Amino acid sequence: MPNEEKLSSIRKGLLEFLILRIIAADKVYVADMLTRLAETPFATQEGTLYPLLSKLRREELLDYEWRESDAGPPRKYYKLTAKGRAQLAELNRHWKQINATVEELGQSA
């Protein structure tokens, strides 16, 4: 590993984007997000995710509804708002640009 600190700042920056992508694909519970990220380099924990989700909700990018579950109390079931989808589209585009740039610079080096 080149430098764990650098990599972790890249991951941190991308986490919000990934969360939006996960929620856009499907309405999800927090536990689903955690399992989906668990297998990836972006594995995260409740301690990080809850504050992030509440921030995104404050920015009106996502919203939740309470859903009864078979086991235990009702859960928050997250979905994107229209604004969230718009921002995700922009992030997607930006991401493609970043990707293209990284590729391009890599080739010329």
Partner 1 sequence: MNKVVTVNLNGNAFALEEPAYEALRAYLDGANARLNGNPDRAEIMADLEQAIADKCRRHLGPQKNVVGSAEMSAILEDMGPVEAEPAADAQTAPPRDNRAQPEATPRRLYLIREGAMIGGVCTGLAAYFNIDVAFVRIGFVAATLLTGGFWILAYIIMMFVVPKAETDEERAAAHGLPFNAQELVDRAKQHYAELREQGSRWQDDWRRRRRARRRQRAAEREREFWRSASELEYQDYGTRVAAGFLVPVFTALSAFLFVVMVLMVLSLVMTGGILDWTLPGDVPVWAAVLVVVLAYHAVLIPLRAASRASYEATAGPRHGWIAAADGLLWVGFAVLLFWIAWETSPEVRDLLEDMQRGWRQYALAWTRW
Q: Does 40 bind partner 1 (CB under 8 A)?
A: no
Distance of alpha carbon 109 from alpha carbon 93, whole angstroms: 24
Distance of alpha carbon 58 from alpha carbon 83, whole angstroms: 12
Helices (H) then strands (E): counts for the chain: 4, 2
Q: Does 16 bind partner 1 (CB under 8 A)?
A: yes
> Cβ(46)–Cβ(34) under 8 Å?
yes
Closer of 3 and 70 to partner 1 (Cβ) = 3
> Cβ(62)–Cβ(53) under 8 Å?
yes
Closer of 83 and 94 to partner 1 (Cβ) = 94
Q: Does 45 bind partner 1 (CB under 8 A)?
A: yes
Please name the residues in contact with 1: beta carbons below 8 A apart, sequence gap of 6 or more.
7
Among 40, 50, 67, 86, binds partner 1 (CB under 8 A): 50
Among 13, 39, 68, 82, binds partner 1 (CB under 8 A): 13
Residues near partner 1 (CB under 8 A): 2-3, 6, 12-13, 15-16, 30-31, 44-48, 50-52, 54-58, 72-73, 76, 93-94, 97, 100-101, 104-106, 109
